[in-house]
Amino acid sequence: MSASSPTAPARAFSGPLLGIALMILGILLYSVNDTLGKWLVGTYSVGMILLIRSLAALLVMLPVICRDNGVRQLAQAPRPWMQLLRVGVITGEIGFFYWAVSLLPLADVMTYYLAGPIYVTALSALLLKEKVDGPRWAAIVAGFLGVLIVLQPSSDSLSWGALIAIGGSLFFAALMIVTRQLRGTPDKTLLTFSTVSTLVVGAVIAPFAWVMPTGIDFGLLGLLGVVALMAQFCVTRSLKLAPASVVVPYQYTMLIWAVVFGYFVFGDQPKPSMLIGAAIIIASGLFIFMREQREARTKTGESIAEEVGDNVPG
């Protein structure tokens, strides 16, 4: 019995809980990437950003692609039409995001994206047949109410920038669903396809608004690709370890980083409504996390009990 005890924490922090941790890390990295992108999009076009960030990411990935018959794995990727759909969705999401941040403050765009988990939860129950229990639904609805408090929606808020940001959030939700359906695909394949697709789109549209970047800016544009690659890996792995309806609500942490980075980088002062809404969103996220912890501990205890029972003579 004592020999099994040290393995309990490792078993508890697996599956849904590890998926949650990777989603939180991925959203933090995305937020860093988005902040840097917002800074650069004031000088460089969306096409240039897509081109240089994707080129940098592809260069980082090349050793992995070329190792262990990587090219053959790409050619033999399962469900090619679904892979193509994912390529289109992720390209649209990235393009819409940078388009939106060129028109709106970063915090506003990131807040619009927080509606994504609501779309994902509804679609995951409908399309992926994932079970969403009552308490989790209640927590997600509470988080959405927090988003509404932050947004304070009115006719004035439905500008072109807002509509573009909402469109980007729909693309992001679709990306979560499609990635979940392709969870059997190697991470290397998913990352390579998405990187190459944005590289091609950037190469097509970048020449129409080309501005020669400085050496420092060229490095920052490349850094966008590396950070985005790390973020995408975390989110992709998260969706393989846990149902979308469990991990996607942790996109709400995006609002925390929007407030922090908005204040320290762009000098944005958070409104009281944003702080109140953020508190509700964080509370709903913590509720889901604690629920998953409790379920993981229960399953771990049951697994250990079964092992002990199997070893009892008789």
Across the range 93-103, mean pLDDT stands at 86
Residue type (1 letter), 99:
W
Count the Cβ atoms, other than its own, within 10 Å of residue 42: 8
What is the rounded average pLDDT for all residues in the chain? 78
Are the C-beta atoms of residues 285 and 252 closer than 8 Å to each other?
yes
For tokens 């969306």, the residue is 46
What is the reported pLDDT for 128? 67
For tokens 């939700």, the residue is 173
pLDDT at residue 264 is higher than 60: yes
Degrees to nearest 5, angle at CA 129 with 301 and 235? 70
Across the range 59-67, mean pLDDT stands at 83
Residues in CB range of 74: below 8 A, 6 or more apart: 65, 189, 192, 193
What is the reported pLDDT for 28? 92
Are the C-beta atoms of residues 268 and 262 closer than 8 Å to each other?
yes
Among the ranges given (136-150, 193-207, 285-299), the one the predictor scored with the smallest mean pLDDT: 285-299
Best-predicted range by mean pLDDT (10-24, 110-124, 282-296): 10-24
Is the pTM higher than 0.75? The answer reads no
* Helix runs in the chain, H state only: 8-12, 16-40, 46-66, 70-75, 80-101, 106-113, 116-127, 134-151, 160-181, 187-205, 215-241, 244-247, 253-266, 272-310
